[in-house]
Amino acid sequence: MTADLFADLFNEAPPDWREDLAPGAVVLRGFALPMVPALLAGVEAVTASAPFRHLVTPGGQTMSVAMSNTGALGWVSDRRGYRYDATDPQTGRPWPAMPAAFAQLALDAAHAAGFDGFTPQACLINRYAIGARLSLHQDKDELDYDHPIVSVSLGLPAVFLFGGFERSDRQARIPIAHGDVVVWGGPSRLRYHGVQPIKPGVHPLLGDVRINLTFRKVR
Ligand code: MD3
Ligand code: FE
């Protein structure tokens, strides 16, 4: 039975935790809340082996966001460019294996948004202090744009900038809270996006930080 037929038969409203932003772009409000303890334990374990660090862009700017990775591949940036690498350049070791709870959440969230079989090789962990931001960019270092990107937000709230396909296109501002998951796929996969500077605040679990996990199928 299709979801639509089910909805018609039972006269159901669509679930209020699901917000469609554009074709292929879906916010799943609070989707990660049941997994928060496991996710935070995973972030602790991963960053004990692969510490958060501030990468330098090819243009020579140090990013305000601190990053680490888990999975077979990790996203790195330096003066030579952006790329995915199996080795953490800071430790010389492979990135820590992806915690089972991370992989399960990515698979479940992608499925809930209509993308089956999402098995990402990479999870970029972004840590934002107050005032940290991510300027407008496209995620295009992956070879396979048929798969979505799944983003999980923890801690302090943020405002996502959700743009179009040209840098100059106007951007919607999407408020994002602790536990929200966003799936960006299909025709929205290559939209420009960013994160506004994090406002001062204290989150009951994470204090003065925001953590974002982005899951990517790289190749
Ligand atoms: C992808 N991180 O790491 S995804 C990144 O809050 C990144 O740290 C965000 O962008 C963060 O590359 C979370 C935000 C996002 C928004 C719109 C998109 C990703 C998107 C549209 C298309 C593809
Ligand atoms: Fe991005």
pLDDT at residue 15, rounded to an integer: 76
pLDDT band at 4 (very low <50, low <70, confident <90, very high): low
| Cα 159 to Cα 84: distance, rounded to the nearest angstrom | 26
DSSP conformational letter for 202:
-
> Does 214 contact ligand 1 (Cβ within 6 A)?
yes
Please tell me the number of the ligand nearest to residue 195's CA: 1
Q: For residue range 45-91, list pLDDT tens digits in order.
A: 999 999 999 999 999 999 999 999 999 999 999 999 999 999 999 99
User: pLDDT band at residue 159, thresholds of 50, 70 and 90?
Assistant: very high
Please indicate whether residue 124, judged by its CB atom, sits closer than 6 Å to ligand 1: yes
Residue 109 in this model has a pLDDT that exceeds 60: yes
Residue nearest to atom 11 of ligand 1 (CA): 212
The ligand placed nearest to the CA atom of residue 21 is 1
Domains in the chain, ordered, with CATH? 3-10+18-216 (2.60.120.590)
Per-residue pLDDT, 16: 83
- pLDDT over 90 at 154, yes or no: yes
Instruction: Report the pLDDT value the prediction gives residue 14, as an integer from 0 to 100.
Output: 65
**Considering only CA atoms, which residue is closest to atom 12 of ligand 1?**
139
Q: State residue 31's pLDDT score.
A: 98
Q: Determine if ligand 1 sits within 6 Å of the CB of residue 69.
A: no
Q: Which residue has the higher pLDDT, 9 or 187?
A: 187
Task: Indicate whether 97 pLDDT > 60.
Answer: yes
Buried b (16+ CB within 10 A) or exposed e, 75-88: bbbeeeeeebeeeb
